[in-house]
């Protein structure tokens, strides 16, 4: 009997702790927040001494206790407050030379005071932490988050003190075979608290999440939902769009959810007119404001239709690498610099590779009128048969969609990049597609998929079985770089087994800025320019092509690129160097985009 009572109370404690990782809070910008950015005390812990005991068992007395010697004889072998600090947000690799290649655990501590007001709740919100974050407050475990590119939050209402709070995060960016992404990527495994950390204060019952977009296929009917979180779940909620004199009220059910639908004559969002409306979601106990654009995106055969009209996606791929300083980009300025360069190239579309970028990128794309392909890092050879890997990928997908579902700029959710054909892969990706459609059926689904040469070695065949389940095809090809010399593109024809639009999601060649030579000398700007010239003429010959995304806007750091004096651990396929210098190939693409602007290929 005694053991059963003990077991029940133990389960209660566990469920209480786990319960503190609430669902994601949407739109923290529209709420009362306190930034925890700045210097955080850190302990570099390659052997995870602060987490495991010498028997490699999780220790109950780890660094998360933030312990201090109470007497002169006490033995405490760490001290956050005399340890060095790192900046947050920011990857650790570019903050200290000795951490550039570091993959392992670093502990972060932030002390803060906070006077909680009556009838309010408090959450700690992370924009992202690469890769696994174990989070503690005042020695109590809040929970764990896996995935380096999506936000997460924990409720700390019951644990927070007026003064001397100790928030501790163990961040581990070790690569693992069963992780997402898995062991090998062509981007730097930047570790740390790479995006903003903030406290989010809410009323006892608050508007936790909402989805307010035009109904699929309709340009005058809004359909979506609002979700409350708290004790008073049956409330009247009103959605207001003041500029359009719209105010519609609904009642939430016992779970705090309300489906919302109403007619609205609105100016539609588009690259030429990125119209955003102030939208207010008002409940009896809370109010949130957001800036939302309204547009429809569909396909019809090989056409992509924005607001019912065919478009061509003049795109470029972007990694979340900071211009000039290098490292993981995280700020509004970083986003504006990258998107402004993309605009100079003539784009109306960007492929954010290969993982969800920070929220500033999406909100600036909304404001600048740049359509977005957003992707989860199901990259190359994921462990398709591993159920935990699938769950992890689904969770990253859910968090990506939850954060950006109200961004008009996002038109495509991408499930994967360059994943080898197999039945296990197909069923894994089909499950992801079903999950994405269950969360948001208003956008297009895609992936960067496989293609192969027919026996004649000049006909590229697109017949990836995944094609049946996506709305738009994405394909990467490197004719003229990994595949022959630039002029080979003149002989390559493209065939596809599906009546669907194709986006060429990657193509390009590599050259460090300022390296010059003749058009057939690898690594020169002239070779890169030559490759692009032949690429453009090949692309123009593909009848079902509805978008192009050269790889890549800016050079980026990669552990797979050691060539001294040329790559120096950078992938130099940028059209722009990491110091903002435009290479000759940049102007080939700029001319092509000027030429096709407004004109759809016949
Ligand atoms: C691949 C891959 C990219 C990589 C690029 C390259 O297609 O998707 O992540 O950086 O090719 O080789 O440069």
Average pLDDT over residues 222-236: 97
494: pLDDT confidence band, cut at 50, 70 and 90? very high
The residue to mutate among 320, 475, 507, 571, having the most atoms of ligand 1 within 8 angstroms of its beta carbon, is: 571
Atom 10 of ligand 1 has which residue's CA nearest to it? 186
Tell me the pLDDT of the chain averaged across its residues.
Answer: 95
Q: Residues near 158 by Cβ (< 8 Å), separated by ≥ 6?
A: none
Atom 6 of ligand 1 has which residue's CA nearest to it? 186
Residue 430, strand partner residues: none
| Mean pLDDT lowest among 6-10, 266-270, 360-364, 438-442 | 6-10
2 vs 270, higher pLDDT: 270
Tell which residue, 210, 185, 204, has the closest CA to residue 292. 210
pLDDT digits (tens, 9 = 90+) for 498-515: 999 999 999 999 999 999
Q: Which of helix, strand or coil describes residue 99? A: helix
- DSSP assignment string, 557-587: E-TT---TTTTSSEE---SB-TTSPBPHHHH
Rounded-to-integer distance, Cα 82 and Cα 121, Å: 32
User: Is the pLDDT score of 533 beyond 90?
Assistant: yes
- Distance (angstroms) between ligand 1 centre and the Cα of 186 equals 6
User: Is the pLDDT score of 571 beyond 80?
Assistant: yes
Atom 9 of ligand 1 has which residue's CA nearest to it? 186
Rounded-to-integer distance, Cα 598 and Cα 578, Å: 30
User: What percent of the chain clears pLDDT 90, i.e. is strictly above it?
Assistant: 93
- Determine if ligand 1 sits within 6 Å of the CB of residue 505: no
Rounded-to-integer distance, Cα 125 and Cα 35, Å: 10
User: Is the pLDDT score of 1 beyond 80?
Assistant: no
pLDDT digits (tens, 9 = 90+) for 303-333: 999 999 999 999 999 999 999 999 999 999 9
Please report the pLDDT score of residue 457 as a whole number.
80
User: Is the pLDDT score of 455 beyond 90?
Assistant: no
Angle at 400 between CA 398 and CA 405, to 5 degrees: 95
Average pLDDT over residues 447-469: 94
Q: What is the DSSP letter of 379?
A: B
205: pLDDT confidence band, cut at 50, 70 and 90? very high
pLDDT digits (tens, 9 = 90+) for 80-105: 999 999 999 999 999 999 999 999 99
Please state, in angstroms and as integers, the Cα–Cα distance from residue 228 to each residue in 30, 235, 408, following that order. Answer: 15, 9, 23
Please report the pLDDT score of residue 23 as a whole number.
80
Q: What is the DSSP letter of 348?
A: S
Please report the pLDDT score of residue 599 as a whole number.
59
- Determine if ligand 1 sits within 6 Å of the CB of residue 571: yes
Pairing relationship of beta strands 165-172 and 132-137 according to DSSP bridges = antiparallel
Rounded-to-integer distance, Cα 248 and Cα 279, Å: 11
pLDDT digits (tens, 9 = 90+) for 178-192: 999 999 999 999 999
Please report the pLDDT score of residue 443 as a whole number.
98
pLDDT digits (tens, 9 = 90+) for 10-47: 444 444 444 444 589 998 988 999 999 999 999 999 99
Q: Which residue has the tokens 């949407």?
A: 26
- Determine if ligand 1 sits within 6 Å of the CB of residue 186: yes
Please state the atom number of ligand 1 nearest to the C-alpha of residue 573.
13
Rounded-to-integer distance, Cα 538 and Cα 523, Å: 22
- Determine if ligand 1 sits within 6 Å of the CB of residue 182: no
The residue to mutate among 380, 551, 566, 585, having the most atoms of ligand 1 within 8 angstroms of its beta carbon, is: 551
């Amino acid at each position: 009997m005694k053991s059963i009572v003990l077991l029940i109370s133990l389960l209660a404690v566990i469920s209480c702790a786990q319960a503190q990782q609430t669902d994601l809070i949407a739109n923290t910008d529209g709420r009362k927040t306190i930034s925890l950015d700045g210097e955080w005390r850190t302990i570099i812990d390659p052997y995870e001494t602060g987490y495991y005991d010498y028997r490699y068992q999780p220790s109950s007395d780890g660094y998360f206790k933030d312990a201090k010697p109470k007497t002169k004889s006490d033995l405490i072998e760490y001290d956050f407050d005399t340890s060095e600090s790192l900046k947050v947000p920011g990857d650790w690799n570019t903050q200290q030379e000795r951490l550039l290649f570091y993959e392992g655990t670093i502990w972060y501590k932030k002390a803060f005071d906070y006077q909680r007001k009556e009838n309010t709740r408090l959450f700690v919100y992370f924009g992202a932490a690469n890769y696994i974050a174990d989070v503690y407050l005042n020695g109590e475990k809040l929970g764990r988050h896996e995935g380096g590119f999506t936000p997460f939050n924990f409720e700390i209402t019951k644990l927070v003190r007026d003064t001397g709070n100790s928030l501790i995060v163990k961040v581990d960016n070790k690569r693992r075979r069963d992780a997402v992404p898995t062991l090998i990527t062509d981007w730097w495994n930047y570790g740390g608290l790479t995006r903003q950390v903030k406290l989010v204060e809410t009323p006892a019952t608050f508007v936790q999440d909402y989805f307010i977009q035009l109904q699929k296929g309709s340009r005058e009917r809004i359909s979506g939902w609002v979700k409350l979180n708290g004790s008073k779940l049956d409330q009247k909620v009103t959605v207001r769009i003041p500029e359009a004199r719209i105010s519609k009220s609904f009642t939430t059910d016992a779970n705090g959810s309300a489906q919302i639908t109403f007619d609205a004559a609105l100016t539609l969002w588009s690259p030429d007119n990125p119209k955003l409306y102030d939208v207010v979601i008002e409940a009896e106990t809370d109010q949130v404001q957001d800036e939302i654009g309204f547009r429809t995106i569909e396909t019809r055969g090989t056409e992509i239709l924005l607001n019912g009209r065919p478009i061509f996606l003049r795109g470029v791929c972007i990694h979340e690498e900071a211009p000039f300083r290098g490292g993981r980009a995280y700020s509004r300025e970083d986003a504006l610099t990258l998107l402004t360069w993309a605009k100079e190239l003539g784009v109306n579309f960007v492929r954010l590779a290969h993982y969800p970028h920070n929220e500033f990128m999406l909100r600036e794309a909304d404001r600048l009128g740049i359509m977005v392909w957003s992707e989860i890092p199901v990259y190359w050879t994921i462990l398709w048969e591993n159920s935990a890997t699938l769950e992890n990928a689904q969770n990253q997908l859910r968090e990506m969609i939850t954060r950006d579902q109200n961004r008009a700029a996002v038109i495509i959710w991408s499930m994967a990049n360059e994943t080898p054909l197999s039945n296990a892969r197909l069923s894994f990706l089909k499950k992801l597609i079903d999950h994405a459609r269950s969360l948001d059926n208003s956008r297009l689904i895609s992936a960067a998929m496989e293609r192969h040469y027919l026996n004649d070695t000049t006909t590229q065949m697109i017949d990836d079985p995944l094609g049946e389940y996506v709305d738009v095809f994405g394909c990467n090809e490197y004719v003229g770089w990994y595949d022959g010399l630039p002029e080979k593109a003149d002989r390559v024809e493209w065939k596809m087994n599906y009546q669907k639009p194709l986006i060429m999601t990657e193509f390009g060649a590599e050259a460090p800025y300022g390296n010059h030579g003749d058009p057939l000398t690898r690594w020169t700007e002239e070779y890169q320019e030559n490759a692009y010239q032949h690429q453009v003429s090949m692309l123009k010959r593909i009848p079902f092509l509805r978008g192009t995304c050269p790889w890549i806007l800016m050079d980026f750091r990669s552990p797979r690129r050691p060539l001294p004096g040329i790559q120096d651990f950078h992938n130099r396929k940028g059209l722009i160097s990491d110091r903002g210098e435009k290479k000759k190939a940049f102007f080939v693409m700029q001319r092509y985009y000027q030429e096709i602007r407004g004109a759809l290929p016949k």
